[in-house]
Structure formats: C-alpha cells, structure tokens
Amino acid sequence: MPSPYRAIFAAPGTKRFSAAGLLGRMPLSMMGIGIVTMVSQLTGRYGLAGALSATLAMSAAVLGPYISRLVDRHGQRRVLRPATLAAVAAVAGLLVCAQQGAPDWSLFVFSAAAGCVPSVGSMVRARWAELYRGDGQSLHAAYSWESIVDELCFIVGPILSIGLSTAWFAEAGPLMAAGFLVVGVFWLTAQRATEPVPHPREHHTGGSALRSPGLQVLVATFVATGAIFGAVDVVTVAFADERGHKAAASLVLAVYALGSCLAGAVFGLLRLKGAPATRWLVGVCAMAVSMIPLQLAGSLPFLAVALFVAGLSIAPTMVTTMALVEQHVPRSKLTEGMTWTSTGLAVGVALGSSAAGWAVDAAGARSGYLVPVVAGALAAAVAFLGYRRLRRPAPQREGLGADERSEQQHVA
C-alpha cells in the first residue's frame, strides 16, 4: 500500500471501520440498478423501473439529511440501527409485491419507505474527520481512500446485482444489497471507540448545515452530477439489452467505476497546492465533457472505453468536494453536511434515471445517452455560477468556537 494510505491506517480501528463501511455502502451501487433489472425482468417496462429507482433515490434524498442530523445529535449507533431495520423491511415489502405482481402503487410505496437507508459513506468519513481533524494531508489521503472504496462498490456491486438478478432470480440483486446493508451497519456501529462524539441539540445553533452558501453550491451541482450517474446506469442496461447481452451491462458499468477508482488512488498520493475550489470546478467540467463521446457508441466495447475515460474525473472531484464541505460546514454539523452532498446526488440520480427510462422507452437506448449530456452541461453551468462562493472564505458561523475556527482556517 502506498505510504500515505499506510500512514492513515496506523491509527487503531481504522481498518475495521473502513471495511464495515465498504459492506454498508454496497447497496449504494446495488439497490437502484437491482430494482431496474428486477422490474425490467418481471415486466419489461423500463419506464416503471426507472421511476421506482428514482422514487427510492428521491426518498433517500429527503430522509438522508434528517437521519444524519439525528446522528450528529445522538450518535451513530442509536440512530443507524433502527433506520437500517426500517429500510430492510421496506425492501422486503418491495420484493414481495414485485414478485406477486402487485399494483404499481404498492411498488412506489415500498420504494419510498426504503429511502430511510442511512448514508454509510458519510458516517465513515465523519470518523476519519474526527480522527485527523486539522491534518489536511491525512484527511486528503483518507477521503481519497474512501473514494476508492466507493468505486470498488460500483465495480463489484452492479456485477453482483445484475448478475444475480439475471442468472438466479429477478429479486436476488436487491435482496443481496439489503443483506450487505444490515451486516455493514451493525458491524460499523459496534465499533464505539472510533465513533464521533455526538453534539447535543444545544450545540446545534444556526439551523441546518444547508444554510452555508458554499454547501448550497456543492449540493446544487451534485443534483446535475447525480443525473449523469442515474441516466448512465439505466441507459447502459437498456443499451446492452438491445444488443442481446443484458448481463454485460454490469461489466460495462464496472469499467466506468474502475476508471474512477484508479484516478482516486493516484489522486490520494499527490500533495496538492492551490485552491480546492479551482480543482473542483475543473473536475465538474471534465465530467460534463466526458459525456459527449457516449453519443458515438455503437457497440459495448466502444461504450466501455468511453465510460472508462469518463470515470477518470469522478473520484478526484468527489474527494475535493469532501474537503470543501469540511471548510464550509461547522464540526457539529459535519455528518449532515456530507450527507447533503449525497442528497444532491440522490436527487439527481432520481431525475436522471427517470428521464433516461422514459427516453429509452420512447426512442431507444442510444438516444437515452442525450440525458447525461444535458445533465453534464447543467452541472458545469451551476459550478461556474457558484464558483465565487466556494473561493470566498467560509464565514465564522455561530456555534464555532475559537479552536474550531483555527482548525477550519488551517484546513482551508
């Protein structure tokens, strides 16, 4: 393991909570695409499949920040376990209704209820932030490592989810995702030594973390970015299906994640200079431009190469985003702030997957790749418009003590 990564894992407990986070995050890459595959297998309706995946993502977007706010106040163990059990019960209801051919409205009800799934990635990053607070280089390496873990999930997850649902039975992918969630969350919350100290209600002055102008820019941009991801997932499954190789969609999506994983691994080794906001803007624009070659895809090999190149800009942009969140959000609201970026992605995934599903039904898979192109253009536009907010030093908001202000300025 390269030395920056070896150094961050020298602290006790870090390997265990990162491993638990890997398992707990597998549903992030398995559940949405598993629902798309399951419903398309059972009904052949990509529009319905995309709408259900969008419902799940939108529900998670609404409930996620609230759950993370409770975590900041009461601790991870007390909040994550009941939230996970509720999400798994809703997934079970969805699978039963889908298998029994229940009315469409019942599928939407259970998809919405499953949105109480916690943002495990934010919980793990909050542990790193607690451990290496004020150490910018260690946090850069830690966030880069977690970005690699995210992409490992997106390499393995779609292969498992699509593969199980196509080779075994239609509901197998989402069912496996629910199992990963339970194991990961209960293992993570059993590790009390590295759990961030909760901040009681009286420390949470100033309202939601989303009141930060910098965080607002990040979240708005990530809505458009999430639309890229949601659309690419749905259209790639349909693209492979049209060519008679539906199961190959998981491999193509894994190549997309592999590009991001490799870029994140290299990015974590760098000692960066200059403003993080500038790196973030360049990353968002690179993601937007990388969607254009998808319009030329006429075969799965060409599509895989195009998506690999597109993936190279993802992890570095996500790592820089976490650094910007830490600069613009008070420590007592850090988990909530990180979750808001995930919420932006979830809203975007909901919009992108739904739009892509209807585009595929109306005009075919190849036309569906127009959706991520439009989403990328919107992401770049919002990033340009909000860039000055991110360059501006974060205000010393109410609720930050002198020590925290000093640490925030040091990281910035």
Q: Which domains does the chain have, with CATH numbers?
A: 16-195+208-411 (1.20.1250.20)
What pLDDT score does 110 carry? Answer: 93
Answer whether 93's CB lies under 8 Å from 113's CB.
Answer: yes
Structure tokens belonging to residue 353: 């997957």
Question: Rounded CA gap, 99 and 27, in Å?
Answer: 20
Q: What are phi and psi of 189, to 5 degrees?
A: -75, -15
Answer for the pair 129, 139: CB distance below 8 angstroms, yes or no.
Answer: yes
Instruction: Quote the pLDDT of residue 43.
Output: 80
Weakest mean pLDDT among 92-96, 259-263, 335-339? 335-339
| 3-class secondary structure, 134 | coil
Q: For 338-384, how does the pLDDT look when each residue is reduced to its tens digit (9 = 90+)?
A: 778 877 887 787 788 778 888 888 878 778 889 999 999 999 999 99
- The helix (run of H) or strand (run of E) holding residue 183 is helix 172-189
E strand or H helix that includes residue 85: helix 76-100
Q: Which amino acid is at 277?
A: A
* Mean predicted lDDT score pLDDT of the chain: 82
* More confident: 51 or 306: 306
- The predicted structure's pLDDT at residue 2: 52
Phi-psi region of 274 (alpha: psi -120 to 50; beta: other; left: phi over 0): left
Average pLDDT over residues 176-191: 93
Q: What pLDDT was estimated at residue 201? A: 59
Among 288, 280, 381, smallest CA distance to 321 is for 280
The C-alpha atoms of residue 400 and residue 286 are separated, in whole angstroms, by 35
Which tens digit of pLDDT belongs to each residue from 224-276?
998 998 889 888 888 888 888 877 887 888 888 888 888 888 887 777 777 78
The closest of 173, 185, 322, 186 to 253, measured between CA atoms, is 173
CB atoms within 10 A of CB 216: 16
Q: What pLDDT is recorded for position 393?
A: 56
Number of H helices, E strands in the chain: 17, 0
Q: Strand (E) positions, 111-153?
A: none
Q: How far apart are CA 340 and CA 348, in angstroms?
A: 12
Band the pLDDT of 132: cuts 50, 70, 90.
confident
The alpha carbon dihedral of 90, 91, 96, 98 has a sign of: positive
DSSP of 299-340: SHHHHHHHHHHHHTTHHHHHHHHHHHHHHHS-GGGHHHHHHH
Of the chain, the percentage scoring pLDDT greater than 90 comes to 21
Q: Residue 109's pLDDT is what?
A: 92
Six-digit token string for 278: 């500038």
Is residue 293 scored above 50 in pLDDT? Answer: yes
**Closest residue by Cα to residue 321 from 308, 307, 347, 340:** 340
| Residue 184 or residue 387, greater confidence | 184
Query: Which phi and psi angles does 406 have, rounded to 5°?
Result: -65, -45
Q: For residue 13, what pLDDT is reported?
A: 87
- Of 177-191, 329-343, 365-379, 385-399, the poorest mean pLDDT is in 385-399
Mean pLDDT for 322-342 is 77
Section 146-154 average pLDDT: 81
DSSP string, 341-393: HHHHHHHHHHHHHHHHHHHHHHH-HHHHTHHHHHHHHHHHHHHHHHHHHHHSP
Q: By C-alpha distance, which of 129, 330, 318, 117 is closest to 210?
A: 330
**145 close to 5: Cβ distance less than 8 angstroms:** yes
Look at phi and psi of residue 297 and say left if phi exceeds 0, alpha if psi is from -120 to 50, else beta. Answer: beta
Q: How many residues does the chain have?
A: 412
* CB-based contacts of 63, cutoff 8 Å, min separation 6: 115, 116
CA distances from 100 to 95, 103, 106, 107, 245 (A): 9, 9, 11, 11, 27
Going by pLDDT thresholds of 50, 70 and 90, the confidence category of residue 207 is low
Contact 68, 336 (CB under 8 A): yes
pLDDT of 407 strictly over 70: no
Which secondary structure element, helix H or strand E, spans residue 132, and what is its range?
none
pLDDT given for residue 351 in this prediction: 84
Predicted pLDDT at 372: 92
- Asked whether residue 205 carries a pLDDT value surpassing 60, the answer given is no
Q: Phi, psi at residue 392, to the nearest 5°?
A: -70, 135
Give the list of residues 6+ apart from residue 69 with CB closer than 8 angstroms, or none. Answer: 204, 208, 333, 335, 336
